[in-house]
Amino acid sequence: MPQSSPLQPVAITGMGVIGAFGRGVTELDRALSEGREGVGPLTLWESTIQGFPVGQYRGDLQRDLDAIAGLTPRIRARLSRSDALALVAANEAVMMSGLEPSQGGAYVGQSVCGTLTTEELYVEARRRAKAREPEKINLSGAFVHEGANTLDRLAETWGLRGPTLSFMTACSSAANAIGLAADAIRAGRCHSMIAGGSDSLSRIAFNGFCSLKVVSPDGPRPFDRDRQGMMVGEGAGMLVLESLEHARARGAKILALLTGYGHSCDAHHLTAPHPEGKGAIAAMREALAMAGLQPGDIGYINAHGTATLDNDRTEARAISAVFGEGNVPVSSTKRFFGHTLAAAGGVEAVVAVHALQQKKLPPNLGLRAPLEDSRLDLVTGTRETPALRHVLSNSFGFGGNNAALVFTEAI
């Protein structure tokens, strides 16, 4: 149920991000400012459908991991690609915060987890069987398959002794991890949390979305009348959350406040959103109520905006139902890094906080002709917004799992 009065805000003191745009908040800022899209070819494995672009991280992950002080050779030997992405983003967030995080915990949204690694084991096992090779295959890599592996590696690296949980609510996973981590801090279970999401590309995810015929051959064009579909991506976005008292007591720089969180379920269909956007509307209204805000207080919405036919139509209608038509600037940043699945709410939380800090709204890259289902104030180029104080970030997933986060300027 919506809150009758605003809850205590939670401080954001660090953030880290990695994706098709590169590694780190600085590189994300360059991509957003330059309008540099992350659309590119798939190179992680050979595929008969490589004509469809992906949002792939092109950097050297092994070299990126070298910067993490607590990462021992033992931990490195037990990492999937998803784990590595999570650690790189979390390290940036922890370093930015200046926090000694061992007394805190971690909530992480995931879906692909270590699937890419276990797929490679399966492919190799099939090859050996067909070739009648007698050598046994080393299956130790299968230990990284489950989502708990990322949490275990985070806990090992920073000695976390607080609560650790993995969330799998499809593409709203990271947003739920962030919102529920803030709840854990408010409840007094810990004074700090690392929260966000991580997912890598994998065969089953890429092929699965292609088989659903929701992937575009030229990349995503969110909220475009002629949009053809999404682009599967990979990445991680992590925040360091702290109670206000703890952050102020140690003199931390507060980047922004997490003031609102809403979560709902459509209970409608496994893959399609409710056509009237009932769940999305409920999540956004709950987030506003928790923050003690009215729709007119929100200065920007970072939309889920996958560029699929159903998602964009439904989200546009839901936004209009809550905020009115054309009353708030909206953009989807999916063409910068693709749809990073369970990591989407984490990556886009960093985008939302960055917009608050810079007083600049990122563009809805790829737009040619706005959709006609509902009139939105779509941001077509970087927009300066000196008076920006509150932003909302939407994350909607399969099964009708909806989440909305409200971030507020730190004063």
Give the active site residue among 191, 246, 263, 339.
339
Angle at 40 between CA 220 and CA 43, to 5 degrees: 130
Express the helix, strand and coil content of the chain in percent, nearest 5 each. 40, 20, 40
Taking CA atoms, 298 is separated from 24, 26, 91, 279, 317, in Å, by 27, 25, 30, 19, 17
Name the E strands within 124-174.
164-167
In whole angstroms, give the CA distance from residue 264 to residue 273. 12
246 is catalytic: no
Structure tokens, 216: 């575009």
Is 304 noted as a catalytic residue in this protein? yes
Q: Any idea what the Cα angle at residue 407 is, between residues 237 and 399, rounded to 5°? A: 60
From the candidates 274, 304, 354, 390, give the one annotated as an active-site residue: 304
Number of other CB atoms surrounding residue 398 within 10 Å: 16
Per the CB < 8 A criterion, the answer to whether 333 and 351 are in contact is yes
Q: Largest alpha-carbon pair distance within the chain?
A: 68
Angle between helices 115-131 and 81-97 (to 10 degrees): 160
- Cα(14)–Cα(11) distance, rounded to whole angstroms? 9
Tokens of 228: 């053809």
Per-residue burial over 275-284, b = 16 or more CB atoms within 10 Å of its CB, e = otherwise: eebbbbbbbb
Of the residues 171, 190, 263, 390, only one is catalytic, namely 171
Any catalytic annotation for residue 263? no
- Active site residue ranges: 171, 304, 339
